[in-house]
Amino acid sequence: MKRKRDSIGFLSSLFAIVVGLLVGFLILLVSNPSQAGAGFWTIITGPLTHGSKGVGQVFYYATPIILTGLSVGFAFKTGLFNIGSSGQFIMGAFAAVVVGIKGEALGGAHWVVALLAAILAGAIWGAIPGLVKAYFNVNEVIACIMTNYIGMYLVNYLVSTNKGLYDKIHNYSKSVAETANIPKMGLDKIFEGSSVNGGFFIAVIAAVLIYLLLNKTTFGYELKAAGFNKDASKYAGMNEKRNIVLSMAIAGALSGLAGALLYLAGSGKHIEIQDVLAGEGFTGISVALLGLSNPLGILLAGIFIAYITAGGFYLQLLNFSTEIIDIIIAVIIYFSAFSLFVRVVITRMQKKKEEARTAEKGGKK
């Protein structure tokens, strides 16, 4: 039964992707008919046409959004909508950058400590909406939106007023020490010239860990139970308040880790002092929805979205703006919300088939 539900979910995601790409093609066609075919081909194959570097870049883009996707998806599984990934992401990034700049004495353990700091910062920032939800009944969506803005302004404030962290000329954070960058773990040999690094392996490990946590532990079962039916899980003696706080803290930790993996990638990223929320958090929502909140689905969805985003960059060569990719992703998410509809259609088709089969059998008798 479970397998059947999964396969229908997969089909509805596939249906959404096909519709999304079709809409993208239509928009290309309307805006510039002569280049539409070439443009569409670029979206589909762009990242594969630049050798191993192009493929490596896809994994590099995928790394943070797999983690923010896990963050949102994990919270979904426990019945919470973590729209606060963006704030948790930037808090994690900030903690990682602080350790990255100041912690040179740590030597070989430098990057590990930086990652741990980011996980902690993200967890604390995620726990805030969890706490106010559990103890004061504050809607977590609104609390998350508030913590997004507070986190963004707080990081901007802390960086720009701290001489040790702030690069005034470029209006962004100073570069982290070499030792804080995540080791390449051999990926630079395979994908020469790209920015992919060991962070991708960390993202994959995180996906596996979250899968095990949700499906193979009592704790994960409790969290999911709260997501399915809050009252029933409370009746069964589970500590629902504690579970809400822990769910949000874990979700926050994943987003915080995402921030660290992006800013310690060794690709020259700095925290820019702008009044703009981190986009990775919102992309995480798309990734989680497309991946049906399943950790392994999220892994694939993250790579898929990174893939077409990379395709969008090459699209600029044909004078199309990259926003077409965002439109395609939006359409995909919109149609993935129709999963119930797809399920009804599929089961109806299966029923018809079965009816036809039994009718045939009856006829032979």
Does 340 bind another protein (CB under 8 A)? Our answer is: yes
**Nearer CB in complex with another protein: 153/228:** 153
Of 65, 77, 73, 120, which is closest to residue 282 (Cα–Cα)? Answer: 65
Single residue of 93, 96, 143, 244 touching another protein by CB under 8 A: 143
Q: DSSP states of 25-70 as a string?
A: HHHHHHH-HHHHHHHHHHHHHGGGGGHHHHHHHHHHHHHHHHHHHH
**Nearer CB in complex with another protein: 269/343:** 343
Contact 99, 114 (CB under 8 A): yes
Q: How far apart are alpha carbons 211 and 262 in whole angstroms? A: 23
**Number of residues located near another protein, criterion CB under 8 A:** 44
141 by Cβ neighbours in 10 Å (0-12 / 13-18 / 19+) ranks as: middle
Q: Pattern of binders to another protein over 293-332, x per CB under 8 A?
A: ----------------------------x-xx-xx-xxx-
Of 217, 219, 222, 333, which is closest to residue 286 (Cα–Cα)? Answer: 333
CA atoms within 13 A on the CB side of 142: 6
Single residue of 138, 185, 296, 346 touching another protein by CB under 8 A: 138
Single residue of 11, 113, 116, 154 touching another protein by CB under 8 A: 154
Does 165 bind another protein (CB under 8 A)? Our answer is: no
Of 301, 109, 299, 310, which is closest to residue 191 (Cα–Cα)? Answer: 310
Stretch that binds another protein, among 50-58, 103-111, 155-163, 230-238 (CB under 8 A): 155-163
Q: Pattern of binders to another protein over 255-294, x per CB under 8 A?
A: --------------------x-x----x--xx--x-----
**Nearer CB in complex with another protein: 222/280:** 280
Beta strands in the chain (DSSP E): 166-167, 172-173
Does 29 bind another protein (CB under 8 A)? Our answer is: no
- Closest distance of CB 338 from another protein, Å: 5
Which H helix or E strand runs over 175? Answer: none
**Nearer CB in complex with another protein: 81/221:** 81
Of 62, 83, 71, which is closest to residue 301 (Cα–Cα)? Answer: 62
Does 21 bind another protein (CB under 8 A)? Our answer is: no
- Closest distance of CB 49 from another protein, Å: 23
Range 96-135, binding another protein (CB under 8 A): 132
Stretch that binds another protein, among 143-151, 202-210, 221-229, 351-359 (CB under 8 A): 143-151
Largest CA distance in the chain: 89
Single residue of 48, 208, 317, 337 touching another protein by CB under 8 A: 337
Single residue of 41, 157, 219, 228 touching another protein by CB under 8 A: 157
Q: How far apart are alpha carbons 257 and 243 in whole angstroms? A: 21
- Closest distance of CB 327 from another protein, Å: 5
DSSP assignment letter at 191: S
Contact 165, 155 (CB under 8 A): no
Contact 114, 190 (CB under 8 A): no
Q: How far apart are alpha carbons 141 and 138 in whole angstroms? A: 9
What angle do helix axes 85-102 and 240-263 make, rounded to 10 degrees? 50
Question: What is the separation of C-alpha 306 from the centre of its chain, rounded to a whole number of angstroms?
Answer: 10
Does 153 bind another protein (CB under 8 A)? Our answer is: yes
Single residue of 13, 82, 156, 309 touching another protein by CB under 8 A: 156
**Interface with another protein (CB under 8 A):** 27, 31, 81, 132, 136-139, 141-143, 145-147, 149-150, 153-154, 156-157, 160-161, 275, 277, 282, 285-286, 289, 321, 323-324, 326-327, 329-331, 333-334, 336-341
